[in-house]
Amino acid sequence: MLKTILAATALAFSLSAPLCAFAQTSPAELRDAALKDDYAWDITEGLTTEIGPRLAGTEAEARARDWAVKKLKAMGFQNVRIETYMMPVWVRGEEKAAIVSPFPQPLILTALGNSGSTGPKGIEAEIVYFPTFADLQAAPEGSLKGKIAFVSHAMHATQDGSSYGPFGQVRRAGPAAAAKKGAVAILIRSIGTDYHRNPHAGGTSWPEGVKPIPAAALSLPDSEQLERVIKRGQPVRVRLLLTPEFVGQRESGNVIAEVPGSDPDAGIVLIGGHLDSWDLGTGAFDDAAGVAITAAAAKRVMDAGQPRRTIRVVWFGAEEVGIFGGRAYAEAHKGDKHVLAAESDFGADRIWKFDVNLPASAAPVADRLATALAPLGITRGRDIAGDGADVGPIMRTGVAAIDLAQTGTRYFDLHHTPDDTLDKIDPEQLRQNVAAWTAMLAIVANAPEDIGPVTPRPGL
């Protein structure tokens, strides 16, 4: 009789347990083991030390792809390969600026990605000051002819990084707006929150028919210094030298690796971050840590046993300069059965909450996530998941999403600056990220529920 009861109990458990593919290893056990993780630090340290800056489309990014293939193969991943595509490439040149009058002094700045050039002799012109991007937009047509526009603002640190979207508009669209109004160049206050004398790089875009003008970001101290000079009430002239180049079409690519699942019909869980970086620092926070966290978590799940669903790790290329890797991946793999996507691209500080965008059929998955992540200090949020520039094109097709939200209080102190270096990574917080991603993957990759299509988050 006892044998019969034990057998029935075991059968009931095997049918109800969501992680039967893992035999005796639970998400909680995997999570706790990951709190001693070394994989993520090893990847982050190796990529930033052996490759360094990885501007999209350059020789350095190509070396990073080769490095990534060797690393992912050594970690035991299968189907490791590079998928290439062509993209337009912009490279940095000389960068100098100075106030000529009324109070001569140098200014520290950096060209925005896709900036036009002043030519080797530079330019000198009067500054027209705009406190906000809205003020620049409201300027009359032609009012900036022969002038340098200067737009300031005051981005503030937030836990969720929510100020980046609205304040980042001046970098993304401000140069084109200034060019349309006749400006010969534009300076902006860096989109950042630090007070080091480090300017923040980042891309801008030019609508068809708008010729690129020189565009640069001032460090925050230099931006505020220029404001003070302007407020003295005298005309301000600046000399500017920016000599970046557009060098034509070159190759970039995505590095892909997999943990094959036991059930081909169960679909693919897509995770990753971006391999490229801006060229001022070594891209530790943005985004060596992201590719490291997700690969380390996938490695831990892989080593525990074959999951039900395939886990596909993608180290996307050319994210910083236009999400070329994410778009190329979505086009190349639009026929694949993706059931869920998630991305790590917000540094390496602690994860504090998670959000989901799951179908009703997978509601229990979110409940199990809440239980597994709570011991790490992670709570369930109320937002609709869908973060991640590179996985965005896939999620727009109706693929479910989970966001593991990192604390962003200091992210924009480092973002796109020379300070984005390995020493800014806190190993303990990095391990907490790996633990959270490991638990999430263990649950999602083995969930017995159907994870079907969803309505994408509004605005995605």
Quick one: 209 and 305 in the same domain? Answer: no
Quick one: 295 and 372 in the same domain? Answer: yes
Q: CA 312 → CA 34, 59, 72, 270, 298, distances in Å?
A: 19, 26, 12, 5, 9
Quick one: 53 and 97 in the same domain? Answer: no
- Per-residue pLDDT, 200: 97
Q: How many Å apart are CA 420 and CA 412, to the nearest integer?
A: 10
Number of domains in the chain: 2
Quick one: 422 and 400 in the same domain? Answer: yes
Domain finish residue from 189, 217, 243 = 243
Give the pLDDT of the chain (460 residues) as one tens digit per residue. 333 333 333 333 333 344 444 445 899 999 999 999 999 999 999 999 999 999 999 999 999 999 999 999 999 999 999 999 999 999 999 999 999 999 999 999 999 999 999 999 999 999 999 999 999 999 999 999 999 999 998 899 999 999 999 999 999 999 999 999 999 999 999 999 999 999 999 999 999 999 999 999 999 999 999 999 999 999 999 999 999 999 999 999 999 999 999 999 999 999 999 999 999 999 999 999 999 999 999 999 999 999 999 999 999 999 999 999 999 999 999 999 999 999 999 999 999 999 999 999 999 999 999 999 999 999 999 999 999 999 999 999 999 999 999 999 999 999 999 999 999 999 999 999 999 999 999 999 999 999 999 999 998 8
- Per-residue pLDDT, 204: 97
Classify residue 321 by its DSSP letter. T
Quick one: 177 and 276 in the same domain? Answer: no
Which of 231, 168, 232, 158 is CA-nearest to residue 200? 168
Quick one: 332 and 432 in the same domain? Answer: yes
Question: Within a domain: residue 12?
Answer: no
Question: Within a domain: residue 38?
Answer: yes
For the chain, what is the total number of helices (H) and then of strands (E)?
14, 16
Q: How many Å apart are CA 128 and CA 412, to the nearest integer?
A: 27
List phi, psi (to 5°) of 61: -65, -35
Quick one: 309 and 348 in the same domain? Answer: yes
Quick one: 335 and 440 in the same domain? Answer: yes
Domain finish residue from 223, 243, 263 = 243
- Per-residue pLDDT, 154: 85
Question: Within a domain: residue 454?
Answer: no
Question: Within a domain: residue 11?
Answer: no
Q: How many Å apart are CA 97 and CA 109, to the nearest integer?
A: 7
Residue with tokens 């596909």: 312
- Per-residue pLDDT, 14: 34
Question: Within a domain: residue 459?
Answer: no
What's the CATH number where 346 sits? 3.40.630.10
Quick one: 203 and 114 in the same domain? Answer: yes
Which of 419, 304, 299, 306 is CA-nearest to residue 43? 299
CA–centroid distance for 238 within its chain: 34
Return the half-sphere exposure (C-beta side, CA atoms, 13 A cut-off) of residue 344.
36
Question: Within a domain: residue 315?
Answer: yes
Domain finish residue from 243, 268, 289 = 243
Structure tokens at 446: 């083995």
- DSSP code per residue over 416-456: TSTT-SGGG--HHHHHHHHHHHHHHHHHHHH--S-----PP
What's the CATH number where 165 sits? 3.50.30.30
Quick one: 218 and 299 in the same domain? Answer: no
Question: Within a domain: residue 452?
Answer: no
Quick one: 73 and 111 in the same domain? Answer: no
What domain range includes position 131? 93-243
Residue with tokens 């990529």: 47
280: left (phi over 0), alpha (psi -120 to 50) or beta: alpha
Quick one: 265 and 361 in the same domain? Answer: yes
Question: Within a domain: residue 193?
Answer: yes
